[in-house]
Amino acid sequence: MDIRALNAAQRYAAARPATEPTPDKGGAGQAALGLARDFATTLQESEAVAKASMVGGADPHALVQALAQTELAVETAVTVRNKVVEAYQEILRMPV
């Protein structure tokens, strides 16, 4: 066996554990789930502030702030969705 091949195999074996997923982190799926929960929470809080302002329970500044947060959350969700669709279309265009 060539010394360079042996050296490469040893380095690969040493680097492999670094690429394995960690069970406590949860991966990209858990991150996406957390983002979806944050998005839903933002919408629910904004809806509660909007309802409170309709009956006179919240000041107009809180309503404007809640609407701005909701607008930012929706724009972010639309941007992420567009990027996912774009990536999917790019995968479909790849030759097999």
pTM over 0.85: no
Write out pLDDT tens, residues 50-93. Answer: 999 988 887 889 899 999 999 999 999 999 999 999 999 999 99
Q: What are the boundaries of each domain within the chain?
A: 26-93
The residue that leads in pLDDT, 13 or 87, is: 87
Lowest mean pLDDT among 20-29, 30-39, 51-60, 68-77: 20-29
Q: Which of 18, 20, 22, 43 is nearest to 31 (CA)?
A: 22
pLDDT of residue 33 exceeding 80: yes
Alpha-carbon distance 64 to 84, whole Å? Answer: 30
Q: What percent of the chain has pLDDT over 70?
A: 78
